[in-house]
Structure 1
Amino acid sequence: MNFASDDPALRPFLARLLPADDLARLEPVLDELGGLAAGELDRLAATADANPPRLRQYDPTGERIDEVEFHPAYQRMAELAFERFGLAAMSHRPGVLGWPTPVPHVVKYALSYLFVQAEFGLACPVNMTDSAARVLRLFDADRSAAEIAALTSTSPGHATGAMFMTERQGGTDVGLTATEATGHGTHWTLRGRKWFCSNVSAEVILTLARVPGQGEGTRGLGMFLVPRVRPDGTRNAVRIDRLKDKLGTRSMASGEVTLEDAWARPVGSLTNGFRQMAEMVNASRLSNAMRATALMRRAVSESVRHTRAREVFGRPLFEQPLMRATLLPLMLDTEAGLAMVLDCAGVLDRADAGDDEARGLVRVLTPLAKYTLCKRARSVTGEAMEIRGGNGYIEDWVNPRLLRDAHLGSIWEGSSNVIALDVLRCMRRDGAHRLVAGVYGSRASSVGGTASALLTRHWDELRARGDRLLELPLDEQEVGIARYASSLSAAVMATLLVEHAEHEISQGHGHRALLVAHAYLGRVLGDGDAPNRGALAHLDALADGTAVPRDAALAALPVESAEPAESVESAEELSRSHART
């Protein structure tokens, strides 16, 4: 088994998104990490999940040390993630995995997607380290050069990062943060309690605290760097009160922390603390969407293998009509989710390169992806557990761990309702729905053919629907934003799949991607519960990435929104034009 080679969509997506030299560098890494994730890494993850970290608060002499002890399996996984593959470092400096420049976000998220199919918990410290380095590089590069170097090292002894933001009385309402900052000329000290601190033993902590005289709410918060060890080499006053007994991510340590006049240094401008932390949160939200997609992919691959091997009433489960109808939406959602994550990564690459439109897009695409994919992962992993039957409920198998971990994505970095309200905030402040509709509607219309026409019309309707939503009283806007955010995300994913299908046909790669695009589009535009007979008939090809007859792909185009004759004629013309190309 190899999670990269077994994935029917990963390599085709990357071949379209990356230049040839990046693809050539990436290919052997995909093969290596895909094999590790399906083998050694998967075994390590199961062991680490069964042997969670332990807090050792005192040494034998009674001195407070607050050390977290990890199982060797977790330590080996950390070595692979941080050192061998440089997942936390690759976006920040050249040289990782042989890249002459920092690795593109598209590559980072593709590799992380493979890693997370085996191990979800460690992906949090990896992301926190990556995001902490990003924030320091953006807002405090000169003063934080040593910390950035430690966070982006791939050598043993590298630092990891964390974000201590949640407080017991605050939670979602960060403006209620009560931790107090006191200035001492050369440094600051922080006093307060942080309630949910993941990667609790990190060497570099970023947190928010209230700055005297700066006002109430979020405007009164500054961002501070709290090192695990003070500049004089002594242990900082960061007390780990206890570790959380979590439903999932059991391999990774989350805890409750008390800051007892902890040594701290401001990051950037103290008046911009909340805005700077929002940059870290937004990067983490995209990581959450990626992780949710990875969990879906692992759940789907487990379900396909199980149903092909399990015989019921004389034939494999995979051949049973109702099981095929159960598997199809799981496959489609997983492939669509991967398309969205990699596209968001590409937008982030352009935003970091100075593209203003991309900056606006990534600000709204990130919460859209996080909202939709994390919710869907809960359903997909639950369905996969049921597909496996009684064994799916037993801890000997991976399904319980997938299900437990999937529920966290909809909570971390903002619960689903918080994320939906963030999308509404982007719409009210910047007209973000019009930006998304304009960009992806234009991409849809450039493809040509009936699917393109259906999508273009759908984008016009979504733009108008968003305008109408903003005309409602605020309470009604908040009630309606969840469904609207789901619709926007689904339209983005449908557009990406149709666009990818055009590319695949133009490159002579056949019609499998067109079948996926048409089947997904049917769910977006028509009755999501109606079976797509063409897709069901060629479920093997969807699972394996093998060839699909052109006529089957064309027949899967939704006809509820267009005359059937027109659909087939336009789709055939599109196919002929691709063949000529």
Structure 2
Amino acid sequence: MNFVDLDPALRPLIESHLDPADRELLNPVLTALGADAAARLAPLADVADKNPPTLAQFDREGDRVDTIDYHASYQELQKAAYEEYGLSALSHRGLHGWEEVPPHLIKYILSYVFVQAEFGLACPVSMTDAAARTLRKFGEGPKVAEAVDRLISTDPDSRWTGAMFMTEIQAGTDIARTETVAEREGEDWVLSGRKWFASNPDADIILTLARYPGGDETTRGVGLFMLPKHLADGSKNSYVIDRLKDKLGTRSMPSGEITLNRAHAIQIGDLDRGFRQMAEMVNTSRLSNAMRSTALMRRSINEALAHARKRVVFGRPLVDAPLMRMTLLPLQAEAEAALGLVFHAGDTLQRADAGDKSAAAQIRVLTPLAKHYICKRARFVTGEAMEVRGGRGYIEEWPDARLVRDSHLGSIWEGSSNVIALDVLRCMRKQNTHHLLAPTMTEKLGDISDAEAGHEVRELLSRWEAIVDRGDAILAAEPDAAEALIGGYADSLAQLIMATLLLEQADVEASRDGNWRKLLVARTFIGGNILGDETAVVSALAHFEDIIDGNTIPREALATTPAPVA
């Protein structure tokens, strides 16, 4: 079994978004990872989930050590992620045959396949990547340079991992309430305070926030600091891990509570822009959150399909039951729509990093939109997929329960859904980002040449006009009303973007491959999520097996699959 081969949407999207040279380099490592994730990494993840890390605060002499002991299964997963596949380094250096840094999409594609096996480790992998990006952008000096070099290393003897310590008991969403304080000590700083939820707490390099002398009471009074695990002389920095969290999911990866006791730290960037600079790390992690949730959807659907095809109920395979197909096909459409948005966001980030100002504004809002919608939908998709397996799915010997438990974290990490929705509102107020997204998406719709998609194109064009007006009305509303409405609006906007991208890809696959499969996926998503018309899903059920398996559906086959009536 190969996770890549089980995914009918992945390779066609790769062909659409990467040039031939990048595809040639990607293909061997992608194929190897797909097989490795299914055969080796997924069983290791099952074992790691049931053998969580433990904290040893003292050694046998009574000295404070705060050592986290990991099960061998998790250590092997770490080796695969950081060293064999270099997932945290791919945004920063050439690997796997690339002499230069590969496109951002390479990291997201490989990480997407890896996460289908193991979700928890993806958090420190993402934070390591994001820490290096943030330090490269805002840090300076030899200590920062060494940290970056080690964070992007794949050498087991020199590589470091990264983390961010932001959350305090009274200051989760409201960073202005941060109580950790920074005091000058020579050229650097010492930090004192408590961080209440810190994942990967034994990381080698931590980025954290603290109040600095003379700062005001807003987020401008919070500076960004780099906290090394060890000092230059090799001694441990002055902070302790008070305890590890007992969590619903991501049990393989530790999260803990930290007390800083005049811990040595290095200032990163301008003191009064600490929160804005930390947002660089947070936003990078938010997009990775959407990717990881998409991976959970894909794995859970694979599990549901495997069961439904094997299970015989009332004399026939469960997968042949019309109601079961009506359950599974919309889940497939959700997963493909999410993956399309991840690809589009990765492309947009690439253009933003290259200096495209419009792309920079759009990725600023695409990131929270993707996190808000995809992470919430992953909870639904994994839950529905678990139900397909019935009582077995509820039992921890099968992966379904772990996938459901892990799926709930995406909506919480780096800001809960309400926080993320308010970030969307902030983008709209500052840059009218709904007005930036609309012409980008309507241009895509206008370029679609396939007449078979005409009905859906017309529907979406109409809805783009309406959703811009709806956004303008929210901006014109009283602040309390705007905040109350933005969650639903964010979901509607995300769905419309995903539907547009599905139709765009459907047009590509029809003209390039002579395959109308993706159009049926798009109709399923649009009918079920935007038009509220289940007949579109029912019509597509005639080609259920071909859609699920990624087979070619010729144009003439659509004659038996009429477009839904508006």
Q: Which TM bucket (shorter chain)?
A: over 0.9
Partner deviation per Cα, 1:391-438 (whole Å, 9 max, x = no partner)? 001111000000000000011111111111110111111111111112
- Is the CA contact 2:304–2:388 (under 8 Å) kept in the aligned structure 1? yes
| Equivalent residue, structure 2, for 1:74 | 74
| Equivalent residue, structure 2, for 1:538 | 543
| Equivalent residue, structure 2, for 1:578 | none
| Equivalent residue, structure 2, for 1:232 | 233
Partner deviation per Cα, 1:473-494 (whole Å, 9 max, x = no partner)? 1111111111111111111111
SS in 2 for 1:340: helix
- Is the CA contact 2:41–2:77 (under 8 Å) kept in the aligned structure 1? yes
More deviation, 322-331/442-451? 442-451
| Equivalent residue, structure 2, for 1:360 | 361
Q: 1:300 Cα shift?
A: 0.5
- Following superposition of structure 1 onto structure 2, how do residues 370-385 of structure 1 map, counting pairs within 5 Å? 370-385=371-386
1:148, 1:118 → 2: CA distance?
28
- Following superposition of structure 1 onto structure 2, how do residues 335-346 of structure 1 map, counting pairs within 5 Å? 335-346=336-347
- Is the CA contact 2:330–2:524 (under 8 Å) kept in the aligned structure 1? no
2:188, 2:562 → 1: CA distance?
63
Q: 1:552 Cα shift?
A: 4.5
1:489, 1:142 → 2: CA distance?
41
Unpaired segments ≥5 residues, structure 1: 562-581
SS in 2 for 1:193: strand
Which residue identity is paired with 1:347?
T
- Is the CA contact 1:125–1:160 (under 8 Å) kept in the aligned structure 2? yes
Percent identical among aligned pairs is 52
2:563, 2:135 → 1: CA distance?
48
SS in 2 for 1:209: strand
| Equivalent residue, structure 2, for 1:200 | 201
Q: 1:217 Cα shift?
A: 1.8
Is 2:479 the partner of 1:474? Answer: yes
Which residue identity is paired with 2:518?
A
Unpaired segments ≥5 residues, structure 2: none
| Equivalent residue, structure 1, for 2:165 | 164
State TM-score, norm by structure 1. Answer: 0.95
Partner deviation per Cα, 1:310-358 (whole Å, 9 max, x = no partner)? 0101111111011011111100000000000111011111111111111
- Is the CA contact 1:518–1:553 (under 8 Å) kept in the aligned structure 2? no
Q: 1:553 Cα shift?
A: 4.1
Which residue identity is paired with 1:503?
V
2:232, 2:298 → 1: CA distance?
44
1:443, 1:549 → 2: CA distance?
23
| Equivalent residue, structure 1, for 2:312 | 311
Partner deviation per Cα, 1:63-88 (whole Å, 9 max, x = no partner)? 10111110011010000000000000
- Is the CA contact 2:131–2:162 (under 8 Å) kept in the aligned structure 1? yes
SS in 2 for 1:454: helix
- Is the CA contact 2:210–2:222 (under 8 Å) kept in the aligned structure 1? yes
- Is the CA contact 1:52–1:71 (under 8 Å) kept in the aligned structure 2? yes
| Equivalent residue, structure 2, for 1:119 | 118
1:260, 1:7 → 2: CA distance?
49
Q: 1:531 Cα shift?
A: 5.4
| Equivalent residue, structure 1, for 2:57 | 57
1:203, 1:422 → 2: CA distance?
30
Which residue identity is paired with 1:434?
H
1:454, 1:141 → 2: CA distance?
51
| TM-aligned CA distance change 1:529 to 1:475, over 3 Å | farther
More deviation, 443-452/105-114? 443-452
| TM-aligned CA distance change 1:240 to 1:148, over 3 Å | same
| Equivalent residue, structure 2, for 1:575 | none
2:529, 2:400 → 1: CA distance?
28
State TM-score, norm by structure 2. Answer: 0.97
2:559, 2:459 → 1: CA distance?
14
Q: 1:107 Cα shift?
A: 1.0
2:91, 2:562 → 1: CA distance?
39
2:350, 2:66 → 1: CA distance?
39
- Following superposition of structure 1 onto structure 2, how do residues 291-330 of structure 1 map, counting pairs within 5 Å? 291-330=292-331
1:292, 1:517 → 2: CA distance?
20
Which residue identity is paired with 1:435?
L
| Equivalent residue, structure 1, for 2:402 | 401
Partner deviation per Cα, 1:186-242 (whole Å, 9 max, x = no partner)? 210000000000001100000000011011120100000000001222110120000
| Equivalent residue, structure 1, for 2:127 | 128
1:328, 1:528 → 2: CA distance?
14
- Is the CA contact 1:533–1:556 (under 8 Å) kept in the aligned structure 2? no
Q: 1:367 Cα shift?
A: 0.3
1:416, 1:347 → 2: CA distance?
22
- Following superposition of structure 1 onto structure 2, how do residues 502-521 of structure 1 map, counting pairs within 5 Å? 502-521=507-526
1:469, 1:249 → 2: CA distance?
37
| TM-aligned CA distance change 1:350 to 1:557, over 3 Å | farther
| Equivalent residue, structure 1, for 2:210 | 209
Is 2:155 the partner of 1:150? Answer: no
Which residue identity is paired with 2:52?
P
2:529, 2:75 → 1: CA distance?
43
Which residue identity is paired with 2:288?
S
More deviation, 135-144/317-326? 135-144
More deviation, 445-454/269-278? 445-454
1:512, 1:539 → 2: CA distance?
10
Q: 1:556 Cα shift?
A: 5.3
More deviation, 552-561/271-280? 552-561
Q: 1:508 Cα shift?
A: 2.7
2:565, 2:200 → 1: CA distance?
50
Q: 1:525 Cα shift?
A: 3.6
Q: 1:559 Cα shift?
A: 3.7
- Following superposition of structure 1 onto structure 2, how do residues 424-503 of structure 1 map, counting pairs within 5 Å? 424-448=425-449, 449=451, 450=454, 451-503=456-508
| TM-aligned CA distance change 1:274 to 1:528, over 3 Å | farther
Which residue identity is paired with 2:417?
S
**Alignment length, in residue pairs?**
560
1:435, 1:524 → 2: CA distance?
23
SS in 1 for 2:96: helix
SS in 2 for 1:507: helix
| Equivalent residue, structure 2, for 1:571 | none
1:30, 1:553 → 2: CA distance?
33
| Equivalent residue, structure 1, for 2:265 | 264
Is 2:32 the partner of 1:32? Answer: yes
| Equivalent residue, structure 2, for 1:334 | 335
